[in-house]
């Protein structure tokens, strides 16, 4: 069930930057978590980053740490993924996902998430 909406995908050259945004209208995530995932053709969906809403605790996958940054706007109703120094291997459909309740940290496990967006395509190419 898609209740999140991603935006900001597109085509960028290697070394360039993009910022994705995600909104979750109608979802109460005060005690939950949000995350960014991606799926390249022929590959499994992988977790990139997540944030526990109550504490702001954030973590990143090794493949993107130092290049990607997850953030929330001041109203905490929009999540962003700033992607810098993009590489061709970063080309994929990017998804945001939400977990309704998160009691400890946050999860980047696909099977843990309760709600998904439909995805935004990011292509890194000359």
In this prediction, what percent of the chain has a pLDDT beyond 70? Answer: 98
Per-residue pLDDT tens digits for 38-88:
999 999 999 999 999 999 999 999 999 999 999 999 999 999 999 999 999
- Average pLDDT estimate for 96-103: 93
Model confidence at 1, pLDDT cuts 50, 70, 90, reads: low
Per-residue pLDDT tens digits for 74-88:
999 999 999 999 999
Model confidence at 104, pLDDT cuts 50, 70, 90, reads: confident
Using CB atoms within 10 Å of the CB of residue 43, give its burial: 0 to 12 exposed, 13 to 18 middle, 19+ buried: exposed
SS3 state at 81: strand
């Amino acid at each position: 069930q898609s209740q999140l909406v991603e935006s900001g995908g597109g085509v960028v050259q290697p070394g360039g930057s993009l910022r994705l945004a995600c909104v979750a209208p109608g979802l109460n995530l005060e005690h939950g978590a949000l995350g960014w995932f991606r799926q390249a053709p022929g590959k499994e969906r992988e977790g990139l980053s997540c944030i526990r809403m109550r504490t702001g605790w954030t973590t990143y996958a090794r493949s993107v740490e130092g290049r990607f940054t997850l953030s929330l706007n001041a109203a905490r109703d929009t999540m962003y993924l700033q992607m810098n120094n993009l590489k061709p291997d970063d080309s994929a459909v990017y998804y945001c996902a939400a977990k309704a309740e998160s009691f400890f940290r946050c999860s980047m496990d696909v099977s843990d998430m309760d709600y998904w967006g439909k995805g935004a395509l990011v292509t890194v190419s000359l």
